[in-house]
């Protein structure tokens, strides 16, 4: 049985706390959090502490706090030579204070408070300082997901940037589409099958090959009409830049 302590109470921490409470090879022995009120209803209060010195013995400590707080929180841990990992996509493993054995446990998924996540398909990107710890961390990862990858800090940084494009920026495109619909009294529902189909296509075709639309066709007449239609300057800038980029990439 692997004993785990989660440190943090934010979005990712809450999802981890929930999945590690499910019966299995892993036992969530404690959660440390400064703001314990955020954990109400997620874990029994007896398992939560806000006092560093009360932190329990465990095989793995998972620091899931904001990127900028990893260094400070890890330096305040009142023990040494234990396995301590963070969950950040953009921070190097070395951000963790070196008094402990360091690692990374990065779940590559978008977590919203309002939506449950099925961890079994979430890619978990792992890194540790030494091979022995890797096996422990891998055991933890495999207990919740079928998709576990060994990823070093450099690769993880590039994955994090790629994730911003395929998730954060994609969602912003959805937001713009939704805004254009509502400005023209059209239900955003009409666009949802298109959103679904576009996302599903990556499973069948490389995105470069799947590209369609006026930019790809260099259909300047339609592009001009679209730019005329867009009266929001920021949307027009985005339309212009992405059209240009599609033409360069596909040209």
Residue 237 CB, nearest distance to a second copy (Å)? 6
Closest to a second copy by CB, 41 vs 206, is 206
In contact, 246 and 211? CB cutoff 8 Å: yes
> Which CB sits closer to a second copy, 50 or 242?
242
Considering the complex, state which of residue 2 and residue 122 has its C-beta at the smaller distance from a second copy.
Answer: 122
- Shortest Cβ distance from residue 94 to a second copy (Å)? 14
Nearest-angstrom CA–CA distance, 162 and 127? 19
| Rounded least distance, CB 247 to a second copy, Å | 10
Q: Of 143 and 247, which CB lies nearer to a second copy in the complex structure? A: 247
Q: Closest CB to a second copy among 34 and 225? A: 225
């Amino acid at each position: 049985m692997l004993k785990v302590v989660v440190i943090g109470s934010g979005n990712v921490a809450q999802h981890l706390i929930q999945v590690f409470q499910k019966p299995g090879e892993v036992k969530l022995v404690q959660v440390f959090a400064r703001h314990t009120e955020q954990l109400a209803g997620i874990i029994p209060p007896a398992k939560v502490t806000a006092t560093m010195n009360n932190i329990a013995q465990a095989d793995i400590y998972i620091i899931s706090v904001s990127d900028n707080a990893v260094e400070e929180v890890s330096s305040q841990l009142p023990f040494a030579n234990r396995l301590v990992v963070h969950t950040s996509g953009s921070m190097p493993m070395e951000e963790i204070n070196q008094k402990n054995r360091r690692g990374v446990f990065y779940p590559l998924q978008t977590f919203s408070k309002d939506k449950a996540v099925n961890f079994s398909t979430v890619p978990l990107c792992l890194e540790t300082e030494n091979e022995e710890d890797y096996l422990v961390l891998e055991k933890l990862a495999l207990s919740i997901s079928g998709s576990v990858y060994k990823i070093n800090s450099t690769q993880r940084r590039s994955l994090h940037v790629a994730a911003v494009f395929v998730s954060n920026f994609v969602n912003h495109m959805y937001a713009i589409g939704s805004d254009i619909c509502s400005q023209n009294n059209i239900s955003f529902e009409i666009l949802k099958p298109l959103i679904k189909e576009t996302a599903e296509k990556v499973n069948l075709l490389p995105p470069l090959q799947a590209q369609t639309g006026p930019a790809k066709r260099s259909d300047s007449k339609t592009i001009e009409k679209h730019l005329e239609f867009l009266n929001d300057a920021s949307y027009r800038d985005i339309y212009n830049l992405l059209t240009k980029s599609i033409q360069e990439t596909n040209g």
